[in-house]
Chains A and B, each alone.
Chain A
Amino acid sequence: MKFSYNWLNEYVSLPRPNKVAEILTMHSFEVEGFEKAGKDTIFSIDILPNRIPDASGHRGVARELSLLLKKPIKIPKFTIKESGDVKKEISVEIRVKKECPRYTARFMKNVKVGPSPKVILERLGACGINSINNVVDAANYVMLDTGQPHHAFDADLVKGKIIVRMAKKGEKMVTLDNVSLKLDDSDLIIADESGPLGLAGIKGGKRAAVTEKTKNIILESANFDPEFIQKTSKKYNLLTDAAVRFRAGLDRSILPQSLDEFASIVQEIAGGEVMRGFIDTNPKKIKRVLYFRPDKARNVLGENISNAEMKNIMEGLGLIIRGNKSNKWQVEIPGVRTDLTLEENLFEEVGRIYGYENIKARPPVISLDKNEVSDEFETFKKRIQERISNFGYSEVHGYSFVGEKELEATDDKKGVIKLENPIRPELAFLRPNLTISVMQALSKNLKHFSEVRVFEIGQVFSKNDKKIKDSSELEDARIAFGFSNKMKLRKKGDSPFFELKGVISSLFESLGVADVWFDDVPQDKINFKKWNRELLHPFRAAQIKSGDKLLGIIGEIHPRVMDIFEIKYPSSVSEISLGALFETVRSEREYKEISKYPAVLRDIAVLVPSQVRVTEVSDVIENTAGMLLRDSDLFDIYEGDEIPENKKSLAFSLFFESNERTLSEKEVDEIMQKITQTLESNPEWEVRK
């Protein structure tokens, strides 16, 4: 909102503009800037929403400055010459008391509508308001002064009495600036007996507008429910100066006083006779008393402000204090401070006028033993991020929203959650899995890199038919990985699957996840739909399990899905539930003795049919070798030249070791003999010599 330095200076003697700006910013509301305009300086002040009722006029800001500068405030007195009787001229009917808590009006005869005097034109101009005529300008002038908006009607164009009511559905109105509105029953209007005269608190109508021809006028000063102002002004996109103020909830006790100022100024600049008295639909006085505990105020602010100083501040704000000898004061609030409804509001008043910059920063007294909040899950996520980035994977953040295209390959379309009001169709759905996001990242980055390793940690969203108690049931924390390499695969049976499998195995090992194994993906889709099996190559995918528990999936991307995401090279992805993973992590670790005796190393190569899986062979070796086998590593898989067709060679390194003695060559030979025999008991398997 704009404020004139000269106008404020008329009420309180001011220092230079930059000083005014600093004082207001530090104690009241932010001065966003100020600039010279002729002989005046115009402040742009961001009046906080709770301060609009008392400070959206020059008088309010002057009150604030008077207190902060410790200088007296001089408010001019307004006088009216009255004659006749208002009751003989108009009557007002309020049909909706809640929506219009108070309505006051005066009546003037024989005004001379014309241009405004220079001082008014200057001040309106400074605050960015166009001049219409002296009567309308006077209404705006009073608003800029007191914060209370006013309106004037051409009394000769009003049919019968003024009625405040809700509009009827379909009722029509033309605004002052010639916009036709079709109203509905949630719009609050000022009407007469023939129809709408204006949108209450927002915009006047054309029908009874004050023009050059006007002689007799009705002056309105009223109060409206902020909720209706907010809704209606938003609906018709009419955020007028009046609406901005009314939607904040103004003070209704100010009405007679501001109405008098309005009438007085009109009389001064447009002549005419003011009828004696005014219409008032609700003259009842409101008295608001709050209690205030100075000790509590000191404890909340954390600053030792004396009782006397707090009393000074509050009285400077126009509050009336009683019982300040006790530790619980009674504080009477002036009507204009509609924002002061709680003891805490008074703490704020004391704090800001005292000055937040004067409050000394104090280190908190922390009771370390009392803070028992567990943040293990957050720590766990952090550990994963650190490890996985050390394995060469970079972290991406995708949007939580996807479009139709990305959902094309999703198994469970029914479970996808849609936005009511997306900003665009490509971001209309909540992502049901994180694999989509890493596939997008692979696609984008393969344009710039020959090898891409990415991961993301984030929420995925889906619903099912179950009734839910909380929104948290609609989401799951996941981690997803993506790997892609432009280089050709070196040999038959090779797949980017294995890089990811290796990374995930290493990650799990470093986290201490127990019993991890990779199982075939089940063929039934029903129980597996939330994992979006359809995204993966049906014969190059696996479930990741710990014991019986499913942690996630891993696999090569399905060629059809690769087309959708425009990924041109074989790529693998994996997605794991962080919650499930967290539960399996064993935090306890225990030292196992390291053998003092030398280990014996033996290699063994087995020729088996191509379709035989590595685990089938390693299981036989491990189950036959007995307790002395400490470790076995597969170090080569070979298919091709020198090997019969449809066969492959698997080579393992076996480490034998005992904690009690040095093993003899002979006993290891015997174990190797046993392993060979067992392996070769399968007629299609052959140990290579």
Chain B
Amino acid sequence: MLDLEKLLQKAKNEIKEAADLAKLRNLEIRYLGRNGELTLFLRSLKDFAIEERKKLGASANKIRDELESLIREKIHTVGKKEIEERLSTEKIDITAPGRRLPKGHLHPVTILRRDIEEIFRDLGFSSVGGPEIELEWYNFDSLNIPKYHPARDMQDTLWLKEKPIAIKRGGENILSRLLMRTQVTSIQVRFMEKNNPPFSIIMPGNVYRRETPDASHEIQFTQMDGIVVGPDASLANMKWVMDAVLRKIFGKKVATRLRPSYFPFTEPSVELDMECFVCGGKGCSVCKRTGWVEILPGGMVHPKVFEAAGMNPRDHQGYAFDLGIDRICMMKYKIPDIRLFHSQDLRFINQF
């Protein structure tokens, strides 16, 4: 007959010595498997007397439970160790570069333009566009710019080598020449011909000048005009809107001053100066030693502009202003040369 105590001792020793999972699995099969020693012994108990069977069965089952838990415990410890050993061979160099997704960048002028549009949107403004090839009528005549004004000159404006277009204005047939718009203000009358007040809109877009490019002059740049028309749209409102917008653009309260100016399409006309951000108002080369930089020209919409849009100036009032996006962008990001904006150079664009 099997000596249960001896078997237990032997199994215990073997489990203790087993160093890997394969050996442990073997032991498990040898003792506890379907044809294992202990299993066979238990099966053979059916030939014993009932009293004997009970006694032997109980101790054999106890030993079986003990061996089972011993093996399980050992398998767990050995398994953990084996995984740890294997993983230690799979070490990677975490200083090697990560696999990056290509990262795209928006143009700094776009980023600023979107930010400013968002600021205006929060104030109830909508964004409106217009053609970049413009009729002389919308770019100059409708804005009360005199026929012989120097801005209409071949030296300042880019004209197209195209025939003028016949249009009807104020019951009159006129021929209007084609040009690259010199200001997004050209959208004002286009918009007012089709929309009734009250409204508050901004008009962002490209404008063109016949300039010799240098660090601060370009033939193509971005402007954003705004116009608000409504029964109470006043200069005091414009002052509030301008201050609010500048504060949000530059992220802090900026000192401003409003002073008289002159533009053909506004009356009264004003210029909003901002305290020079470079010298803090002490005077430097950026602000021409005045401590102030011109940033926002504007004023109350000139009655002639309402007339040009077919509106009775006696019934309407409003204010209009203009933001030079490129200039603000240069100030905000300390960009020294306006020509970088059209350089298409990703070494520049990828910085934003």
Contacts and interface: CB of A to CB of B under 8 A. Distances in A.
Nearest to B257: A357
A388 B104 contact: yes
Contact of A347 (B106, B109, B268): B268
A361 interface: yes
Residue among B232, B262, B344 with most chain A CB within 10 A: B344
B261 A48 contact: yes
B232 A299 contact: yes
Interface stretch (A100-108, A226-234, A639-647): A226-234
A49 B146 CA distance: 12
Interface in A246-304: 299-303
A390 interface: yes
Contacts of B125: 371
A398 to B, nearest CB: 6
B185 interface: no
A597 B237 CA distance: 61
A389 B106 contact: yes
Interface string A363-404: 111111011011101110010011011111111111111000
A684 to B, nearest CB: 39
Contacts, number: 267
Given A234-B153, A344-B300, A365-B232, A394 B350 contact: yes
B123 A366 contact: yes
B347 interface: yes
B97 interface: no
B344 A398 contact: yes
Contacts of B130: 472
Contacts of A347: 267-268, 300
A394 B133 CA distance: 27
A474 B133 contact: yes
Contacts of A30: 259, 261, 271
Interface in A451-489: 451-455, 458-459, 461, 463, 468-472, 474-475
Given A301-B236, A366-B124, A370-B198, A227 B158 contact: no
Contacts of A448: 345-347
Contacts of A441: 344, 346
A226 B125 CA distance: 40
Contacts of B135: 470-471
A300 B127 contact: no
Given A399-B342, A441-B344, A420 B259 contact: no
Nearest to B208: A400
A359 B102 contact: no
Residue among A373, A377, A397 with most chain B CB within 10 A: A397
Interface stretch (A150-158, A348-356, A512-520, A659-667): A348-356
A420 B288 CA distance: 36
A51 interface: yes
Contacts of B232: 299, 302, 364-365
Interface in B215-248: 219-220, 228, 230, 232-237, 239-241, 243-244
Contacts of A440: 344
B235 A371 contact: no
Given A368-B124, A394-B104, A445-B345, A33 B289 contact: yes
Contact of B114 (A342, A363, A382): A382
Contacts of B182: none
Contacts of A463: 162
Contact of A396 (B107, B158, B260): B107
Interface string A210-226: 00000000000000001
B158 A419 contact: yes
Contacts of B133: 417, 430, 461, 471-472, 474-475
B131 A471 contact: yes
A392 B199 contact: no
Given A230-B150, A378-B117, 14 more contacts: A299-B234, A300-B234, A300-B268, A301-B268, A302-B236, A344-B300, A373-B195, A378-B129, A394-B105, A394-B106, A395-B107, A396-B346, A417-B161, A418-B160
Interface of A: 25-30, 32-33, 48-51, 226-227, 230-231, 234, 299-303, 342, 344-345, 347-348, 351-352, 356-357, 359-368, 370-371, 373-375, 377-379, 382, 385-386, 388-401, 417-423, 427, 430, 437, 440-441, 444-445, 448-449, 451-455, 458-459, 461, 463, 468-472, 474-475
7 contacts: A227-B147, A356-B270, A375-B126, A393-B102, A419-B158, A440-B344, A444-B343
